Amino acid sequence: MKTNQIWILLFLFSLLSCDSVEDKKGRFLLKGNKKLKENDAKGALGFYAEALELDSTYVDAYYNKGLAHVLLIQIEEGISDFSLAIKYQPDFADAYFQRGLSYLDNGEFYKAREDSDKLKSLEPENWQSFFLSGLVEEKLKNLDQALVEFQKASELDPENSDLIVNQATIFFYLKDFESAKALLQSAEIINPTEPNIHNTYSMIYFDEGEYKAALDAVDKAITLNNQQAFYYNNKGLYLLFLGQLEEGLDLINQSIKMDSDNPFSLRNKGIYFVMKDDKISALSYLNDLMKNYPEMDLVKEYFEKAQAL
């Protein structure tokens, strides 16, 4: 081999060796992010794992890997990754936010509260800090405090229609329908295409006995977002009360296929069987709900109706 050829090979080798660990892990992160944007969470996980093989303390890879796990409904794995991101960057606010949301999804409400408190201390002017806190208090049935937290979040981000809908939802739970409707009207001005506005209207109309109005409102929500299981469950309930029992049951079953963990859909199946005078089937749903969710609307009423069949 000629001397100049040897020099060229050595030069090329030196260029390759300059491809640092930092560069390589960054490329894997970007490839993972691209997969995540393409809704290929499984593909993204592989690239994030490659990045972490190069640097086991790579905070961004742990955080984005956690997001991918959450998209795959792998909540505990997501929590683990967010925790590792926090371990290596203790002031990582977004990781606390996402971990707090994941704790809520996992039923670990007090751990979520700890993350919301930490987030408030890190970023007291960030609406997400108070939004997470509001969600926690809502889950813990501290509705008045949840309303305070959502109001504070809305003050920090007044153009965020979701935060207004959250307040309206609390007023709905408190049976203050006029306050809820007033908030929904203001949210609709900001973002008329937000489906949760119309779904919340539907729940209010149902409680007011306006079943057709409730159906029309939830249909608007479904038109805007046809991926939410609880919209179909609500529509199924409204159809039951409009006398369209089989159509209602079909939608309730569709909701269960989309999300099998929603106790409201099981309640609605119990209501269906009460309306069909099928005591055994009705009680097979309502017995457990009466034990585990005795305060849920309509459960006690329809449990007693089932017993009386």
Determine the pLDDT at residue 28: 85
CA distances from 125 to 25, 39, 90, 253 (A): 33, 31, 19, 43
Rounded Cα gap, residues 300 and 121, in angstroms: 42
Please tell me the distance from the alpha carbon of residue 114 to that of residue 110, in angstroms, as a whole number. Answer: 6
CA distance linking residue 140 with residue 145, whole number of Å: 10
- pLDDT tens column, 94-144: 999 999 999 999 999 999 999 999 999 999 999 999 999 999 999 999 999
Q: What are phi and psi of 242, to 5 degrees?
A: -95, 5
Q: Which residue's entry shows tokens 């969710």?
A: 293
| Residue 275: both structure tokens together | 């309306």
**pLDDT of 1:** 44
Write out pLDDT tens, residues 214-225: 999 999 999 999
Residue 16 has pLDDT above 80, yes or no: no
- Better-predicted residue by pLDDT, 27 or 282: 282
Q: What's the chain's average pLDDT? A: 92
**Nearest CA among 70, 134, 44, 120 for reference residue 82:** 70
Say yes or no to pLDDT of 29 above 60: yes
How far is Cα 68 from Cα 52, in angstroms, rounded to an integer?
Answer: 15
Residue 25, pLDDT score: 84
Query: Percent of the chain at pLDDT above 70?
Result: 94
**pLDDT band, residue 5 (cuts 50/70/90):** low
Q: Tell me, what's the pLDDT at 2?
A: 46
Report d(CA 208, CA 234) in Å as an integer. Answer: 15
What digits encode the pLDDT tens for the residues 235-275? 999 999 999 999 999 999 999 999 888 999 999 999 999 99
**Segment 167-214, tens digit of pLDDT:** 999 999 999 999 999 999 999 999 999 999 999 999 999 999 999 999
Structural tokens at position 198? 């119309």
Distance of CA 26 to the CA centre of its chain: 29
Write the CB contacts of 229 (distance below 8 Å, at least 6 apart in sequence).
254, 255, 256, 258, 259, 262, 265
Which CATH superfamily does the domain covering 21-90 fall into? Tetratricopeptide repeat domain (1.25.40.10)
Distances (CA, A) of 295 to 26, 264, 288: 51, 12, 13
The pTM assigned to this predicted structure is: 0.83
One-letter amino acid for residue 218 of the chain: V
How far is residue 104's CA from residue 56's CA, in Å, rounded to a whole number?
A: 27
N-term to C-term CA, the chain = 97
Task: Find out whether 233 and 255 touch, Cβ atoms under 8 Å.
Answer: yes
Residue with tokens 């050829």: 5
State the chain's maximal CA–CA distance in angstroms.
Answer: 99
For residue 270, give the nearest of 308, 237, 295 by alpha carbon: 237
Backbone angles phi, psi at 134, to 5 degrees: -65, -40
- Quick one: pLDDT at residue 14? 52
Domain parsing of the chain, residue ranges = 21-90, 247-309
List all residues 6 or more positions away from 141 whose beta carbon is below 8 Å from its beta carbon.
none
- Could you report the per-residue pLDDT of 145-156, keeping only the tens digit for each? 999 999 999 999
Neighbours of 192 (CB within 10 A): 12
CA distance 57 to 41: 21
Residue pointed to by tokens 């201390």: 121
